[in-house]
Chain A
Amino acid sequence: MTSLTQPFLSVDALHKAFVLHGQGGMTLEVMRDLSLTLSPGECLVLAGPSGIGKSTLLKMLHGSYRVTGGTLRLHFEDGDLSLDTLPAHAWHTLRRDVIGYVSQFLRVVPRVPAVEVVMEPLLARGVDEAETRARAEAMLARLNLPERLWSLPPGTFSGGEQQRVNIARGFVAEHPLLLLDEPTASLDAANREVVVQLIQEAKARGAALLGIFHDEDVRDRVADRLLPLTPHMGATIAPTKPAAEEVR
Chain B
Amino acid sequence: MKRPDLDRATLLEARGVSRLYDPGKGCEAIDIRLHRGEVLGIVGESGSGKSTLLRLLAGMERPDAGQVVYRSPVAPGRDGSGHEGELDLYAIGEARRRALLRMEWGLVHQNPRDGLRLGVSAGANIGERLMALGERHYGQLRAAGQDWMGRVELDPRRIDDAPKTFSGGMQQRLQIARTLVTRPNLVFMDEPTGGLDVSVQARLLDMLRTLVRELGLSVILVTHDLAVARLLAHRLMVMRRGQVVETGLTDQILDDPQHAYTQLLVSSVLTP
Q: Is the CB of A88 within 8 A of B202?
A: no
Chain B residues with CB under 8 Å of A66's CB are 248, 252, 256, 258
Mark out the residues of chain B between 248 and 263 whose CB falls within 8 Å of any chain A CB in the assembled complex: 248-249, 251-252, 255-256, 258-260, 263
Interface status of A109 (Cβ within 8 A of chain B):
yes
Interface status of B264 (Cβ within 8 A of chain A):
yes
Q: Is the CB of A63 within 8 A of B231?
A: no
Q: A89-B235, A90-B7, A111-B203 are in contact. Are A64 and B252 (CB under 8 A)?
A: yes
Q: Is the CB of A88 within 8 A of B247?
A: yes
- Name the residue of chain B whose CB is nearest to the CB of A76: B3
Instruction: Write the nearest CB–CB distance from B140 to chain A, whole angstroms.
Output: 25
Q: Is the CB of B249 within 8 A of A91?
A: yes
Interface status of A94 (Cβ within 8 A of chain B):
yes
Which of these, B3, B205, B234, B248, contacts A109 with CB under 8 Å? B205
Mark out the residues of chain A between 111 and 126 whose CB falls within 8 Å of any chain B CB in the assembled complex: 111-112, 123-124
Q: Is the CB of A76 within 8 A of B247?
A: no
Q: Is the CB of B255 within 8 A of A59?
A: yes
Chain A residues with CB under 8 Å of B37's CB are 92
CA distance A88 to B40 in the complex (A): 11
The interface size bin for chain A is 20 to 34
Instruction: Write the nearest CB–CB distance from B216 to chain A, whole angstroms.
Output: 10
Interface status of B84 (Cβ within 8 A of chain A):
no
Mark out the residues of chain A between 80 and 135 whose CB falls within 8 Å of any chain B CB in the assembled complex: 81, 86, 88-94, 97-98, 109-112, 123-124
Q: Is the CB of B1 within 8 A of A76?
A: yes
Chain A residues with CB under 8 Å of B206's CB are 109-112
Chain B residues with CB under 8 Å of A79's CB are 3
Q: Is the CB of B234 within 8 A of A92?
A: yes
Which of these, B33, B38, B249, contacts A64 with CB under 8 Å? B249
Instruction: Write the nearest CB–CB distance from A171 to chain B, whole angstroms.
Output: 18
Interface status of A65 (Cβ within 8 A of chain B):
yes
Q: Is the CB of A98 within 8 A of B4?
A: yes
Q: Is the CB of B7 within 8 A of A21?
A: no
Interface status of B197 (Cβ within 8 A of chain A):
no
CA distance A24 to B211 in the complex (A): 44
- Name the residue of chain A whose CB is nearest to the CB of B256: A65
Q: Is the CB of A110 within 8 A of B202?
A: yes
Interface status of A176 (Cβ within 8 A of chain B):
yes
Q: Is the CB of B4 within 8 A of A123?
A: no
- Name the residue of chain A whose CB is nearest to the CB of B247: A88
Chain B residues with CB under 8 Å of A92's CB are 8, 37-38, 234
Chain A residues with CB under 8 Å of B5's CB are 93
CA distance A89 to B10 in the complex (A): 10
CA distance A92 to B4 in the complex (A): 12
Chain A residues with CB under 8 Å of B205's CB are 109-110
Interface status of B267 (Cβ within 8 A of chain A):
yes
- Name the residue of chain B whose CB is nearest to the CB of A65: B256
24 A-B interface contacts by CB (under 8 A):
A18-B256, A19-B258, A21-B259, A21-B263, A22-B264, A64-B251, A64-B255, A64-B256, A65-B252, A65-B255, A66-B252, A76-B4, A78-B2, A78-B3, A81-B3, A88-B249, A88-B252, A89-B234, A91-B249, A94-B4, A97-B4, A109-B205, A109-B209, A112-B206
What are the 7 A-B residue pairs with the smallest beta carbon separation, nearest first? A110-B202, A21-B260, A90-B6, A76-B3, A64-B251, A65-B256, A111-B206
